[in-house]
Structure 1
Amino acid sequence: MKKKPVKERIIETALIMFEKHGYHGVTVDQIVDECGTSKGGFYHNFRSKDELLYHIHDVFISYLLNKAKETYDKESDPVSRMCGIITSFTRIFDLYKPHITVFYQESTYLKGDFEKQINEKREEYRQLLQQIIREGQDNGDFRPEVPAQITTMAIMGMINWMYKWFKKEGELSIEDIARIFNDMMLHSLLTEEAMKAGKGDRFLLKTESVQ
């Protein structure tokens, strides 16, 4: 079997070790020993352990932000945009759960430009989602009495907490969970007129879909 590239091995090893021992509980020497490379190999790919932590954070946040922008451009209405973003947000826990777990456990150790760059991407994502909610309120799809800012934070908080409980081998698939989240938000946000018009029907649960 072909050996994985050094950078990939360093990241995979660091994810396991950071999650188990904490960021400050792991040294560069321990990482390179565990993954079978050298300090030269480490510093060829990362200038420091801080940059490695930044990369772990950045890889999934950049992916998430790009998916949100793609969804906004692809879909033409707020309901489809919101549900598409909720779906891609949920799916990321199937792709990057170790990265996200380390992020929530160790993000306080990001400093300087690394922290600034990550926070800017997180804020851009939040602003895009909030914009979609407001667009839905403006066109009559979403209830105006529910504040867009609180709705945005509720969506992000609901999905972010998956890092504590989602298991790939669990009873529900990631797609099942995304459908449940979309159904919950649509029943909370859609106006009576939008519901009668069938807005979001393709994102709502069917009685036989999830037990």
Structure 2
Amino acid sequence: MTEQDRPRVPRGQARDRIVAAATDLFARLGYEATTTRQIVEAAQVTKGALYHWFSSKEELLTSIYRELLAEQTARLETIAAADGPADVRLHRAVSDLFAHMDEHAEPLTVWARSMHLVAGEHAAAVRAERRRYQHLFQDLVEEGQKAGAFRPDVPASVITNTFLSSVVQIHRWFRSQGPLTRRELGEQMVSLFLDGVRGTALTPQLPEY
């Protein structure tokens, strides 16, 4: 079927089909190896429909991630603004982050593997939105430190960046065929993170002479 012969798809559906097709192709073939023609054919839309929604393949990739990041940020805002102790809310926040990652594993992995290829205004927009999530997370850690729930000897910025950086790197070593599911891995990382953040600083044991 040629592009001219394809039936017209409603605009909202066309965008969803383009995103779904691109996510699948980026995951299977890699972002660089995937062409816009392959995306159009897989989505069964016209090239005009693709460029109506996305000016480039780079914008398409960035849009997929920014929408998921916006979801994560909105969920964190809700958790952070809720009642209850800061340590309980931080537990909910990190658990929810891993739950969201489990629900959207494929597109988030695609982004993690391809984000170094994005530059210019698209990269700047992502950095700005990630900083918003980071600041919300850090504010919650600082609140817990002021309340005495978290160790005060490590700056909240170090705690935040260490944890979020480790999350970004999961795609480099996690294998779905391994002994743990993504959800089980998330539970273990949540436990390790919270155990490290709670309580007072540990005093190192010096050797006896």
TM score, norm. by length of structure 2: 0.78
Aligned to 1:156: 164
Aligned to 1:196: none
The total of aligned residue pairs comes to 189
Aligned to 1:199: none
Aligned to 2:154: 146
Aligned to 2:25: 17
CA distance in 2, matches of 1:185, 1:155: 7
Over the matched positions of the two proteins, sequence identity in percent amounts to 22
Q: What is the CA deviation profile of residues 83-116 of structure 1, one whole-angstrom value per residue up to 9, with x for unaligned ones?
A: 1110111012222112111111211232332211
Aligned to 2:119: 111
Q: Which one of the candidate residues 7, 10, 22 is aligned to 2:15?
A: 7
CA distance in 1, matches of 2:117, 2:165: 21
CA distance in 2, matches of 1:26, 1:101: 16
Rate the CA distance shift 1:50–1:186 in 2: closer, same or farther, 3 A: closer
Rate the CA distance shift 1:75–1:180 in 2: closer, same or farther, 3 A: farther
Matched, 1:41 2:49: yes
CA RMSD of aligned residues (A): 2.6
CA distance in 2, matches of 1:105, 1:173: 17
> What letter corresponds to residue 43 of structure 2 in structure 1?
C
| 1:183 Cα deviation after fit | 2.5
**Which consecutive residues of structure 1, in runs of 5 or more, have no partner in the other structure?**
193-211
Asked if 1 retains the 8 angstrom alpha-carbon contact of 2:134 and 2:160, the reply is yes
CA distance in 1, matches of 2:72, 2:176: 20
| 1:172 Cα deviation after fit | 4.4
Aligned to 1:69: 77
CA distance in 2, matches of 1:79, 1:27: 46
- Deviating above 4 A after TM superposition, structure 1's stretches of 4 or more consecutive aligned residues are 168-173
**Which consecutive residues of structure 2, in runs of 5 or more, have no partner in the other structure?**
1-9, 201-209
Q: Residue 24 of structure 1 aligns to a residue in which SS?
A: coil
> What letter corresponds to residue 196 of structure 2 in structure 1?
S
CA distance in 1, matches of 2:54, 2:179: 35
Q: What is the CA deviation profile of residues 48-69 of structure 1, one whole-angstrom value per residue up to 9, with x for unaligned ones?
A: 2222112111111111111111
- Comparing 3-12 and 23-32, the one that deviates more: 3-12
